[in-house]
Structure 1
Amino acid sequence: MTPAARIQTAGELLDAVLAGQAAEQALTRWARSNRYAGSKDRAAIRDLVFDALRRKRSYAALGGAETGRGLMLGALRASETAIDEVFTGARFMPAPVTEAERAAFRSPSEAEARDLPDWLWPEFARSLGDAAEAEARLLRERAEVFLRVNLLKSNLDTAQARLAEEGIATEPHAVSPTALRVTEGARRVHLSAAYGDGLVELQDAASQAVVNALAPQPGQSLLDFCAGGGGKALAMAAQAGGPVTAHDIDPGRMRDIPARAARAGAEITVQPAPQGVFDIVLCDAPCSGSGSWRRAPEAKWRLTEDRLAELCTMQDAVLDAAAPFVAPGGWLAYATCSLLAPENSARVSAFQDRHPGWVMDFDRQFTLQDGGDGFYLALLKRG
């Protein structure tokens, strides 16, 4: 496919996404129906679609319309590409740009330029202060791919060497001692023997840093209270070198944990109803996901003020439900992949107001400038 044909296809797929279809679903359906497209074409079209979703508001302004065609026009204008050389109307290429379309081109407003909803930019700025501008800009970029070295089976040097043998280049990352940033061959990771043998797991560097900060030790009892697919439970098991209990309000989310634990050589017990008390209880609570919007840009446009309020109520309920499982002198760890203070420090303060006697010993907002996704972590000690 020519670059122009890829742009035409990306615009058509974006129309489907804007109409309500999930981006991954639209891309998969297109690939299955267009077998002629090679892997490079599929990768290029995927990048065009997701880049446009990350920058939907600024591209729509620059391109004059929030349509697939408008977003592609905006993308070309943002990159200072001559649009008339692409929108020619030739076979498989987009139709020429009309005068009416040119008249609709405009500069983005303040929130549009940052590719955030109008209501969200002020809260984003309040939450991040001087870092807000840089964080908004980084959310418009593609996320890097990180691996966690599984200390139960390998170490940093061995994992790097094994990956390199399969054409996957990596480098250590300062935010976590177990993190490797993939610099080449990211699309081959899932098929690699290093991944299949459990030497490495796909996990964001900041997500790994959250578990590093917990510093789980051998012999401690550990509960991942919102385990989901088990990424942090696996990291806790590897760091502590011992068993971890995994729980989630929706047991179906944990269905992959046994297979993942077996591959990693980790001891994880899945418990729909945990019993007893634990030295460390981790609550990786449901949240806006604002720190990971580079990976899931559609979520940025689905978040509303009402939904944010619902999430805050849910986070309060999660903390209240988890607190009784913390042993005297133990730790309640509250984490989100959010950059927004209402979901983070405000929830910890509200918890302390409801539960006197809990002391916050540590909190940190990991930003995109640290490398990896945006994450928040607070450690609360039970008196």
Structure 2
Amino acid sequence: MTPAARLSAAIELIDAIDSQRVPAAKALKEWGTAHRYAGSGDRAAIAGLTWDVLRRRASSAWLMDSDTPRARVLGMLKLERGLDAAAIAALCDGGRFAPEPLSNAEQAALTSRTLDDAPPHVAGDYPEWLDGELAAVFGDDRVAEATAMASRAPLDLRVNTLKAKRDKLLGSLAHLGAKATPWSPLGLRIELGADARNPGIHSEEDFIKGAVEVQDEGSQLAALLSGAKPGEQVIDLCAGAGGKTLALAAMMQGKGRLIATDHDKRQLAPIYERLSRAGVHNCDIRTPKGPNDTLSDISGSADLVLIDAPCTGTGTWRRNPDAKWRMRPGALEVRLKDQAEVLDRAVPLVKPGGRIAYVTCSVLGQENGAQIAAFLARHPEFAVVPLQQTAAVLWDKAEDFLAAALVSEQGLLMTPRRTGTDGFFVSVMKKAG
């Protein structure tokens, strides 16, 4: 397919996402099934165009003074891909499979319009109802922060120290362009271009043997900041598919007791195979069964309870750009209730002197600092542990990392703009001994 034909396909896909109200991933899969002649490179390029339009949905429409699928695709080419009006016009020449030529209005918009007068939610590409939430956290920096959250994310990997060392994997994965992550001592990063195909990490020998796992650097750091140690009893209370469970297991070096559970047992399905591949032998998976408490036998004995809390996922907008446009205020209210409940459920599990590590992949203050403040008001026997102490796990980079992140009395916030990671909030609280 020519670049112009790929552009036409992206316009078609955006139209389908709009009119059928389907998630982008589903629309892309259905398009690929219906257009089997398109090669893997074509599908990757079209997917990249589609995701970039969703990343720049509001600002592209503003730039073009039109909210049609075609207008958003054209606006994205200028804002995200950096093409000028002449380059865009060359793609839209009206030839076979190419988009129709630019209209006078489109030509004028691409030549003269800017985002200088756009309101914050448009310039930052986020739902207008979230403007107050982001302003409360970032103030006048919210547009810059949100713009970074609309950028393309790299592929990050975590080295499984139960099986490998980072220096060795930097060599064996060099053909994929793997580099060391800026902060995490366990991370590898593969930068992805605009039309890059998935590097197929799951077929790599290092992945098959359990030496690496796909995990954003921010998620790696959140696990490290929990301070899990060999010999401790650690509970991963919202384990899901097991990403942070695996990180905790490596930190514990196979020593101690690790318990993984989740309120939704369906989320636990992938964890068994992942633990086996990673060589983890000290993890007990507790699957919820009916109304009975699956953790009643370990009450008051945990050194650490990790809560990877259910949240709005605003910190993962780089990877899920269509999710932000489908998010509604009611979703935030539900998540706030879920978070308070899981925090309270962790309390009786922690022994005196034990810790709760609360993690979200959200940048919203209500889910983060406000949630911790409310918890401490309900449970005064807990106090926030200064992350300057916990960040010692980051060795010589701890001071620079803390300077980059947004640190408050309640915890620490990572963002794409500040730390180059997904958005993550971390708070560690210790129970009085």
2:53 is aligned to: 52
**Aligned mates of 1:89, 1:9 — CA distance in 2:** 14
SS in 2 for 1:244: strand
1:96 is displaced (CA, Å) by 2.9
Amino acid at match of 2:415: T
Amino acid at match of 1:89: G
2:168 is aligned to: 158
Residue 128 of structure 1 pairs with residue 128 of structure 2 = no
Q: Which runs of 5+ in 2 are unaligned?
A: 289-293, 387-410
SS in 2 for 1:177: coil
Cα distance per residue 1:327-353 (max 9 Å; x no partner): 221101111011111110000000111
Cα distance per residue 1:193-226 (max 9 Å; x no partner): 0111100000000100011112211110011101
1:298 is aligned to: 322
Amino acid at match of 1:172: A
Residue 357 of structure 1 pairs with residue 367 of structure 2 = no
Match of 1:241 among 230, 253, 260: 253
Number of residue pairs matched by the alignment? 381
| TM-score, structure 2 normalization | 0.84
Match of 2:235 among 206, 215, 223: 223
Amino acid at match of 1:204: D
1:141 is displaced (CA, Å) by 0.9
**Aligned mates of 1:13, 1:250 — CA distance in 2:** 33
SS in 2 for 1:66: coil
2:426 is aligned to: 377
2:43 is aligned to: 42
1:126 is displaced (CA, Å) by 1.6
1:312 is aligned to: 336
Residue 93 of structure 1 pairs with residue 101 of structure 2 = no
Residue 260 of structure 1 pairs with residue 274 of structure 2 = yes
Residue 367 of structure 1 pairs with residue 367 of structure 2 = no
Taking every aligned residue pair, what percent have the same amino acid on both sides?
41
2:304 is aligned to: 280
**Aligned mates of 2:186, 2:49 — CA distance in 1:** 32
The answer (yes or no) to whether the contact 1:168–1:186 under 8 Å persists in 2 is no
SS in 1 for 2:154: coil
Match of 2:284 among 269, 274, 282: 269
SS in 2 for 1:115: coil
Instruction: Indicate how the Cα distance of structure 1 residues 169 and 307 shifts in structure 2: closer, same or farther if over 3 A, else same.
Output: same
1:337 is aligned to: 361
**Aligned mates of 1:216, 1:371 — CA distance in 2:** 24
**Aligned mates of 2:315, 2:191 — CA distance in 1:** 21
Range moving further from structure 2, 227-236 or 133-142: 133-142
**Aligned mates of 2:89, 2:180 — CA distance in 1:** 44
1:183 is displaced (CA, Å) by 4.0
Instruction: Please tell me the root mean square deviation across aligned C-alpha atoms, in Å.
Output: 1.9
Amino acid at match of 1:333: A
Instruction: Indicate how the Cα distance of structure 1 residues 212 and 130 shifts in structure 2: closer, same or farther if over 3 A, else same.
Output: farther
1:51 is displaced (CA, Å) by 0.6
Cα distance per residue 1:279-319 (max 9 Å; x no partner): 10011111111111000011111223332222212211111
**Aligned mates of 2:347, 2:13 — CA distance in 1:** 46
**Aligned mates of 1:33, 1:81 — CA distance in 2:** 32
Q: Which runs of 5+ in 1 are unaligned?
A: none
Instruction: Indicate how the Cα distance of structure 1 residues 382 and 323 shifts in structure 2: closer, same or farther if over 3 A, else same.
Output: same
1:137 is displaced (CA, Å) by 1.7
**Aligned mates of 1:12, 1:295 — CA distance in 2:** 22
Range moving further from structure 2, 38-47 or 104-113: 104-113
Amino acid at match of 1:221: Q
**Aligned mates of 2:153, 2:348 — CA distance in 1:** 37
1:6 is aligned to: 6
SS in 2 for 1:10: helix
